[in-house]
């Protein structure tokens, strides 16, 4: 039986997960190109950004490499429970699909302000052009990376600008609506070696963003975001916000089609995980973040 560490070293060795993904969404392999890439990204956007699955897996394998969710588990959890993952498991799965389909792609690490290497995305090379695909931010369209021209894109919930800073040799990704523009993250177009990526992935389990339940999903009319009992619906016209009270389980379950039992289990597991962090000297002060990790 192949262990987790061996499988991690081989992102192209997840044929069953890729086959499951293609069959689930009715995709037929085609010659690698921009149109097929857009089709893959469109289907992949159905997988929500959520940390329930990550919190539950950490609770079962707190100090073990087995806490990582590989593509087979991610796809099975989506098919059975409508779960997805965070940027690490989603980006790794997406790259596995792209590699199986013949695309030249690599994972890049990104910084969010002073927090280094806390986000990741996939860069795809097509002939003479490169494109960014970011499942962790649910920016599920191919965004061209051009060192001489900034690129503007429109998603169901926000505008996106990608531009290159020549003085520091990195790209900057901004989101904007009618009221605000925000720098979300910066990254260098440097393929991240799998060992380095694995280290950042493992470290991500002990960050402050694991101290709160977070779910985000892209809809045709916008983006739905839940952080603990805070609900936000974002569209290009702006954001609607609400505090969830006694209706928390009902609302979240209906919005994301996730069983209330899973939400309850994740909340209990999160409290246990924070106690284990203190026991093992891994505790981090709780941070409230409106960005995906």
- Residue 215, domain CATH: 3.30.2140.20
Sheet holding 104-112, edge to edge: 139-145, 129-134, 115-126, 104-112, 181-187, 170-176, 159-165, 151-154
pLDDT bracket for residue 158 (50, 70, 90)? confident
**Structural domain includes residue 286:** no
% of the chain exceeding 90 in pLDDT: 77
Task: Give this prediction's pTM.
Answer: 0.92
Residue 140 tokens, joined: 């599920």
Q: Which of 94, 46, 86 is nearest to 67 (CA)?
A: 86
Does residue 285 form part of some domain?
A: no
Q: Hey, what are 11's tokens?
A: 């992102």
Q: How sure is the predictor about 10, in pLDDT bands with cuts at 50, 70 and 90? A: low
- 165-182 CB burial, b ≥16 within 10 A, e <16: eeeeebbbbbbebeeeee
Q: Does 270 map to a domain?
A: yes
Report yes or no on 242 lying in a domain.
yes
The number of domains in the chain is: 1
Residue 248 has pLDDT above 80, yes or no: yes
pLDDT of residue 289: 46
Q: In terms of C-beta density within 10 A (0-12 exposed, 13-18 middle, 19 or more buried), how is residue 90 classed?
A: buried
* Of residues 70, 66, 216, the one with CA closest to residue 135: 216
Overall average pLDDT of the 238-242 stretch: 87
Nearest Cα neighbor of 122 from 151, 165, 149, 88 is 88
pLDDT at 214 over 90: yes
Q: Which domain holds residue 163?
A: 4-279
**List of residues 6+ apart from 1 with CB closer than 8 A:** none
**Reading across the β-sheet that carries 238-243, which strands appear in turn?**
49-50, 214-219, 222-227, 230-235, 238-243
Residue 290 lies in a domain: no
Indicate whether 167 pLDDT > 60. Answer: yes
Res. 240: pLDDT tops 70: yes
Q: Which range has the worst mean pLDDT, 66-70, 105-109, 153-157? A: 153-157
pLDDT at 236: 73
pLDDT in tens, 16-36: 999 999 999 999 999 999 999
Cα(69)–Cα(253) distance, integer angstroms: 22
User: Residues with Cβ < 8 Å from 289, sequence gap 6 or more?
Assistant: 208, 209, 227
pLDDT score of 293: 45
Does 103 map to a domain? yes
- Is residue 102 left, alpha or beta, with left meaning phi > 0 and alpha meaning psi from -120 to 50? left
Average pLDDT value for residue range 235-264:
91
pLDDT of residue 12: 65
Sorted by sequence, the CB contacts under 8 Å of residue 159 that are 6+ apart come out as 152, 153, 175, 176, 177, 236
Under 8 Å between Cβ of 124 and 98: yes
- Quote the pLDDT of residue 140: 77
* CB-based contact 49:87 (threshold 8 Å): yes
CA dist 75 and 81 (Å) reads: 10
Q: What pLDDT, on the 0 to 100 scale, is given for residue 8? A: 67
What's the whole-number mean pLDDT along residues 191-209?
A: 94
CA 5 to chain centre: 21
Q: Is residue 292 part of a domain?
A: no
Output the pLDDT for position 290: 43
| Average per-residue pLDDT for the chain | 91
Residue 34 within a domain: yes
Is the pLDDT confidence value at 288 over 50?
A: no
Amino acid 3: pLDDT = 62
């Amino acid at each position: 039986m192949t262990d987790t560490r061996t499988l991690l070293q081989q992102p192209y060795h997840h044929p069953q997960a890729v086959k499951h993904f293609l069959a689930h969404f009715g995709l037929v392999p085609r010659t690698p190109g921009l149109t097929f890439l857009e089709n893959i990204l469109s289907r992949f956007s159905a997988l929500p950004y959520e940390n329930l699955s990550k919190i539950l897996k950490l609770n079962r394998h707190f100090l073990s490499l087995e806490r990582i969710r590989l593509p087979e588990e991610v796809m099975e959890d989506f098919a059975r429970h409508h779960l997805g993952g965070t940027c690490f498991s989603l980006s790794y799965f997406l790259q596995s699909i792209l590699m199986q389909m013949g695309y030249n792609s690599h994972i890049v690490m990104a910084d969010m302000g002073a927090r280094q290497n806390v986000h990741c995305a996939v860069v795809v090379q097509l002939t003479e052009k490169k494109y960014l695909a970011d499942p962790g931010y649910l920016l599920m369209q191919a965004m061209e990376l051009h060192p001489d021209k900034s690129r503007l894109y429109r998603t169901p919930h926000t505008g996106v600008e990608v531009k290159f800073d020549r003085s520091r040799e990195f790209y900057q990704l901004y989101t904007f609506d009618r009221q605000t523009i925000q720098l979300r993250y910066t990254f260098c177009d440097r393929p991240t070696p799998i060992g380095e990526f694995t280290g950042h992935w493992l470290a991500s389990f002990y960050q402050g963003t694991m101290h709160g339940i977070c779910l985000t999903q892209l809809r045709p009319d916008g983006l739905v975001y839940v952080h603990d009992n805070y609900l936000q619906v974002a569209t290009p016209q702006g954001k609607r916000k609400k505090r969830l009270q006694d209706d928390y389980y009902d609302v979240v379950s209906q919005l994301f089609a996730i069983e209330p039992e899973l939400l309850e289990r994740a909340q209990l597991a999160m409290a246990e995980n924070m106690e284990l962090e203190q026991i093992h000297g891994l505790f981090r002060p709780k941070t409230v973040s409106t960005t995906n990790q």
